[in-house]
Amino acid sequence: MAVCVAVIAKENYPLYIRSVPTENELKFHYMVHTSLDVVDEKISAMGKALVDQRELYLGLLYPTEDYKVYGYVTNSKVKFVMVVDSSNTALRDNEIRSMFRKLHNSYTDVMCNPFYNPGDRIQSRAFDSMVTSMMIQVC
Amino acid sequence: MEAAAGAGCGSGPPLLLSEGEQQCYSELFARCTGAASGGPGSGPPEASRAAPSAATAAAGPVADLFRASQLPAETLHQITELCGAKRVGYFGPTQFYIALKLIAAAQSGLPVRIESIKCELPLPRFMMSKTDSDIRFGNSAELHGTKTQIPYLISEKNTFKRMDDEDKQQETQSPTMSPLASPPSSPPHYQRVPLSHGYSKLRSSTEQMHPAPYEARQPEGPSSGNQGTKPPRHQASLIRSFSVEREPQDNSNYPDEPWRITEEQREYYVNQFRSLQPDPSSFISGSVAKNFFTKSKLSIPELSYIWELSDADCDGALTLPEFCAAFHLIVARKNGYPLPEGLPPTLQPEYLQAAFPKPKWECALFDSYSESMPANQQPHDLNRMEKLSIKDVADFPVSTEDMTGDDKQALKSTMDEALPKDTSEDPATPKDSNSLKARPRSRSYSSTSIEEAMKRGEDPPTPPPRPQKTHSRASSLDLNKVFQPSVPATKSGLLPPPPALPPRPCPSQSEQASEAELHPQLNRASSQAAESSPTKKDTPYSQPPSKPIRRKLRSENQATENQEPSTTVGGPASVATVKPHPIVQKQSSKQKKAIQTAIRKNKEANAVLARLNSELQQQLKEVHQERIALENQLEQLRPVTVL
């Protein structure tokens, strides 16, 4: 159950960012922004090898007191960043991976839409609903 | 016929009520008074003739009733003022009846004035919780029993095919209700729940769409008034459609009537599909579909959402059922219906495939396809199948052409207008993004063109075809004509005037074809082109098209006369020669102009390339010189080092 989900384009600007507690969004935006550095570091570390050998799932990028940040990179250098509540210890790596896979699939579906220009903000309702399903259920 | 003297309102003229109206009004009046005081309303009709009796309608129920008529507040104020209730201080029968009549007038779109109530008006419509009987009553009286509406989604064709009020209103209204209302609820709820929501949505989104059907409806509307303001008409239609909608609602298994594709719609969609992709069992690629749907002038986010809904397997391509669903959604959206949250069951690909099996797409459809393209007389299937552009632009208006006799002229004319605009853009910028600019102009078929056509009196003159635009297509035909024995008007034989009208120009084809096809013509006509094109530029196009053509023909025929006719602007000598072959000239004019246009374009391209070439040559020279200089230096240095 994510707290914040972000899709970052290759040029490091956000295509889609959404967080569950709609107040205090800025904090999450900032976290996602800072996590981009970590993502780049991880990519470049593996980047010497061929892209094929690089795994898409980057794992835990960095933990903070309250949150953990996970990252995922596609072959077209589009990054998915997910912020997860630290108190939610039940979340295992596999679940995070599956969430990223779902994100990636939905992202691919968005790409398939010929009216979507790569680089635009993602406004697909199907994508939104998928992300909502992944978010924490805030009463 | 009753005549209730306006005893209560001094300024009111005698109010003529038909029997149906009388009954309805008295019932409503009774309800208002009964609800208030329990006193007897104007029971027997004769009683209304008397001076305002003690029975007055209380303001409360009357206000509710008026509000239920869905007219804007200011209209209601006007009505109350006019009917005299304000002056008198109460709603007597006369005031009430006058008010009801004014409401009916307002709902029919007439201005709220005393004169309006003099004409025959339909009954006013009220949307209230327990008004089933009232509205049904009003229904039967007004609709004259024509309740044969099939609650299908309105498409352009349907709009104009059935010019009845009822059909249109019902169709316009029902789709807003269906996606918004929960699946099958009882009819009264059905009409009420989405009323405000759908109504407001419709108001905002369809006002530009509905003028067309409203304008078209005028000659046949039951109300004689013609200069209605749009919102009251809109409301009238909405309310009528609401009342009508309830009856046929249970006809199908699915509650979402407007999302059901009719047979003719289905055929049309299939034809469109074939135009994009000859094989009905294969896909349309995303980019092709994008071009096609962009012509509908919907916004990109909406188109994106429609795609999302219709591309069920998210593969970036549309199969035929997916395409039909997408097209249907686009048509719905263009008619003002809000897009559904999810794909309606009647638009699911499985349903569509089951409902309309493939074997239908045989020659029958192909025949209907060729019939449905009235403007494309030539069977240039190859050319048509290649690109979408103009032909699809034509196809959208063609659909409405099929359905309206009146509007055929209008559409054709607007199409002709639109086409030249389109072709002018496309040859210059064949890219999709640029063609988007051109296409929106030509896509004004549904709303504005019909409206203008109707306003013009249903017989608009066909505007003269803009020559330079259509020729880009026509030029590509010349190659075909070359091999056919045609009118031997010219000695050259390379540019024979075609005997028949050329098919609808397709600019992107022409751009490809023109270069190849004009090349042989250019070889021959190069000298003439040099002269004819500058002179052609001089020639205003308001001139009869035969003159430039004649000039060109002559220039081809007689080399000696090149100078004279080409330099004379609108040469009078050419006119004389024109007359013997007017028809031939007209037919060949388009080709000639196309050739001239293409020649001009090629010349420009040539000029650009030549300039580029010269620049590159220059650079090459400089680079050579540098190289030589460097080699010299090297040689000078080398002996030093060797030693």
pLDDT in tens, A2-33: 888 999 998 888 899 888 876 778 888 888 88
Distance, in Å, from the CA atom of B199 to the CA atom of B234, rounded to the nearest integer, reads 9
Contact B555, B561 (CB under 8 A): yes
Q: Chain A: nearest CA to B157, how far in angstroms? A: 27
Distance, in Å, from the CA atom of B96 to the CA atom of B55, rounded to the nearest integer, reads 11
pLDDT in tens, B54-91: 456 666 777 777 777 777 778 777 777 777 666 666 67
pLDDT in tens, B563-617: 444 444 444 444 445 555 567 777 888 899 999 999 999 999 999 999 999 999 9
- Between the two ends of chain A, the Cα-to-Cα distance in Å is 14
B208 CB-near residues (< 8 Å, 6+ apart): B447
pLDDT of B624 above 90:
yes
User: Which chain A residues contact residue B311 at CB under 8 A?
Assistant: 112-113
Residues in chain A: 139
pLDDT of A64 above 50:
yes
Distance, in Å, from the CA atom of A83 to the CA atom of B247, rounded to the nearest integer, reads 54
Q: Which of residues 70-109 of A touch B (CB under 8 A)?
A: 108-109
Q: Does A116 touch chain B (CB under 8 A)?
A: yes
Model pLDDT, residue B620:
95
Query: Between these two residues, B557 and B311, which has the higher pLDDT value?
Result: B311
What global pTM score does this model have? 0.37
Q: Which of residues 290-319 of B touch A (CB under 8 A)?
A: 290, 293, 300-301, 303-305, 307-308, 311, 314-316
pLDDT in tens, B139-164: 444 444 344 444 443 444 444 444 44
Model pLDDT, residue B125:
65
Q: What is the mean pLDDT of residues B484-495?
A: 45
pLDDT in tens, B338-358: 878 888 887 787 777 776 665
User: Which tokens belong to B111?
Assistant: 């201005």
Give the residue among B511, B483, B477, B513 at the shortest CA–CA distance from B588: B477
pLDDT of B53 above 70:
no
Residue B590's φ and ψ, nearest 5 degrees, are -65, -45
Residue B494, classed as helix, strand or coil, is coil
Give the residue among A5, A36, A8, A33 at the shortest CA–CA distance from A19: A5
Q: What is the mean pLDDT of residues A120-132?
A: 87
Q: What is the mean pLDDT of residues B213-218?
A: 41
For residue A120, give the chain B residue with the closest CA.
Answer: B301
pLDDT of B561 above 60:
no
* Structural domains of chain A in order of their starting residue, each with its CATH number: 2-134 (3.30.450.70)
**Pairs of CB atoms within 8 A across A/B:** 35
Give the residue among B97, B109, B20, B2 at the shortest CA–CA distance from B57: B97
Query: Between these two residues, B483 and B629, which has the higher pLDDT value?
Result: B629
The DSSP string of B96-142 is: HHHHHHHHHHHHHT--SSGGGGGS--PPP----TT-HHHHHHHHHHH
